[in-house]
Structure 1
């Protein structure tokens, strides 16, 4: 049976008798009332016309804005045709004015016709060369509103969220979070609305996983652009969704990324706590590759704490788990290949080389060279990080000329990456190069990095 009403009524009267709608009316939860109507096929424009509100006001209420004013609540009840008593409102001797609601809907349609004509005039003017930029946009120009989400979703909708996340993650991986962070957040704002849609249980579970993954990407790109508080917020939400969906592998992913935030900010003890929590989730997921990633990062943290015994233990376990891992991997661990294994090993030895350069700098060079030789050229951020480590340890090991050559390549790649982490990761190379003021090329490299870092300072 159709739920759309007739004779000026927005919906059929039985809608107001539904238990969930009655509860929303009793609590004056207008946001939930509007969402229920949207699920019944009532458009935002029709809700706006019937209640005397603008579409932007309706949009804000759908997003959660509360309505408190009595007269506004009364106007909404009358416009929608909802019994005032269900909302605890006095009838004031008047029945809902269906004629007025119909008149408002007709007026809205008339205004839409005017906007269409004005836009056609504008388009013709532009096409024929008569438009002057800077002129008024006119009443046809759209206000900022969110794209409407479906009221019922299936696996196709979830797959679209997954596809968007994959494409945006590829941009981040290649060119840095600054190229896509706003797009991730905007996509996430729309995707979150799908939680309000009707869906089968297995679809909703997959949606939670997909939203967790997208929040994780939003957190990572926020971190990469230097936005630490938003990063923590997104990672926190990602972890909640992953646990709610029962996906331990994805929970491990989020905890790994949170640990990397603290590792970057030179807080290895805090980072270790996240990696150890992630280790538990990784083991519960049954993914040897997830366990390998956690062990590798724990090894890096122990290196920053000058714990070579623990570094070797964790790197040994990393290698064992990496070999044991099956080809069937969760999406989030697929980046961790042979190159990344060498890169993480090199990072752990680089950390130890700060305390014992004679022993560990050559080991760091060997591992980072294997990593850098395997990266594809578009992966510029990875190249910057790997080459900066390699160049730093060339200089520590006394191979100054090679350090300069690789360091200049790192700078070249860094100029094309939009990442707040790049200047930070180049700092150790600058400090090592500055220790050789009598060598003109090394001294020049230190100055080049200094200028680059200053140009990227926020």
Structure 2
């Protein structure tokens, strides 16, 4: 309830603070101050996503703010530069709605947001937001189990000029390509993409100005998180465990959603190496809040329990996990 109240409160606050000015006989002038207010709201959406992730309230908030940015286009006079920024804000909000839907496993809704975001990004002419949308599309198709489409979408992102201008974008595109190759079972391509992603990150200039959404999440810890996903899919559980520990050591405090996902994947890697007690202890360290509220974490924990029962049926370890799941996050869900 506390989480739902927070998200609803942020939504109401965002819409109230970006409300249109009262009607006046004089034509309303839309300027950079309007754009800056929307950009501050976008930063708040990003922060909410990293704390909570996948919530319907975040998706709805971002979609409502995208509509607000578009409504401003019709509310008065503006320069072409300002109009371009407003389309960019709308595209950014739609891409966040898309990501929240992907993270919440609401793929049909994510596809709708994707199409709207793509059209808005074209009108904005902003290569960074185009990259974000197509990169998210690649992730969406990967989570849907469609690696061919995932690769095609991610290649659109990687083909944008911004990858050549800034190695940090190139690194993210390659890191997500690595995760797609892992899901497709291509070991050689996975390793090659990882090496190239790491090399690009090492070349990136930390002093370059980058979008808030990129600065908020992409760093060495996220590269290790994507490597963890790739190697886990390939069945290379020792490598997966290595990258899980590297990711957890480097995660910034606000990345609560990422911590829960990484910890759950670490438990899977430990389980597949026969470290049953260690795996269960790791899985039990995932916050109950994440286990209940985050659809992706909840699904991975259910898969963990099913795999544990398959590997060690009627074992004390399996019984310990079943009792824990039943009396904590399953009963509270």
Match of 2:47 in 1: 170
1:288 paired with 2:164, answer: no
Question: In 2 relative to 1, CA 211–415 (structure 1 residues): closer, same or farther, beyond 3 Å?
Answer: same
Partner SS for 2:111 = helix
Divergent runs of 4+, >4 A: 282-285, 446-457
Asked if 2 retains the 8 angstrom alpha-carbon contact of 1:239 and 1:251, the reply is yes
Of 256-265 and 157-166, deviating more is 256-265
1:420 paired with 2:285, answer: no
Could you state the TM-score of these two structures normalised by the residue count of structure 2? 0.83
Asked if 2 retains the 8 angstrom alpha-carbon contact of 1:249 and 1:282, the reply is no
- Give the helix-richer structure, 1 or 2: 2
Asked if 2 retains the 8 angstrom alpha-carbon contact of 1:423 and 1:452, the reply is no
1:182 paired with 2:182, answer: no
Could you state the TM-score of these two structures normalised by the residue count of structure 1? 0.62
Q: Distance between the aligned counterparts of 2:141 and 2:269, measured in 1?
A: 23
Instruction: Give CA deviations for 1:290-319 in whole Å, capped at 9, x if unaligned.
Output: 111111111111111211011011111101
Asked if 1 retains the 8 angstrom alpha-carbon contact of 2:91 and 2:117, the reply is yes
1:236 paired with 2:236, answer: no
Asked if 1 retains the 8 angstrom alpha-carbon contact of 2:32 and 2:82, the reply is yes
Question: In 2 relative to 1, CA 187–245 (structure 1 residues): closer, same or farther, beyond 3 Å?
Answer: closer
Asked if 2 retains the 8 angstrom alpha-carbon contact of 1:252 and 1:278, the reply is yes
Match of 1:433 in 2: 308
Q: Distance between the aligned counterparts of 1:342 and 1:158, measured in 2?
A: 35
Q: 1:331 aligns with which of 212, 226, 230?
A: 212
Partner SS for 2:30 = coil
Q: 1:377: Cα distance to partner?
A: 4.7
Instruction: Give CA deviations for 1:69-125 in whole Å, capped at 9, x if unaligned.
Output: xxxxxxxxxxxxxxxxxxxxxxxxxxxxxxxxxxxxxxxxxxxxxxxxxxxxxxxxx
Instruction: Give CA deviations for 1:131-185 in whole Å, capped at 9, x if unaligned.
Output: xxxxxxxxxxxxxxx9545732100100111110110221111112325233223
Partner SS for 1:269 = helix
Asked if 2 retains the 8 angstrom alpha-carbon contact of 1:249 and 1:285, the reply is no
Give structure 2 stretches of 5+ with no counterpart: 1-17, 23-27
Q: 2:30 aligns with which of 147, 153, 157?
A: 153
1:192 paired with 2:70, answer: yes
Aligned residues: 305
Q: 1:218 aligns with which of 94, 97, 110?
A: 97
Asked if 2 retains the 8 angstrom alpha-carbon contact of 1:206 and 1:245, the reply is yes
1:445 paired with 2:321, answer: yes
Residues 17-416 of structure 1 aligned to structure 2 (within 5 Å): 147-148=19-20, 151-178=28-55, 179-196=57-74, 197-281=76-160, 283=162, 286-327=165-206, 328=208, 329-334=210-215, 335-353=217-235, 360-410=236-286, 412-415=288-291
Question: In 2 relative to 1, CA 247–191 (structure 1 residues): closer, same or farther, beyond 3 Å?
Answer: closer
Structure number with higher relative contact order (C-alpha < 8 Å, ≥ 6 residues apart): 2
Q: Based on CA coordinates, which of the two structures has the bigger radius of gyration?
A: 1
Q: 1:256: Cα distance to partner?
A: 0.9
Q: Distance between the aligned counterparts of 1:203 and 1:289, measured in 2?
A: 27
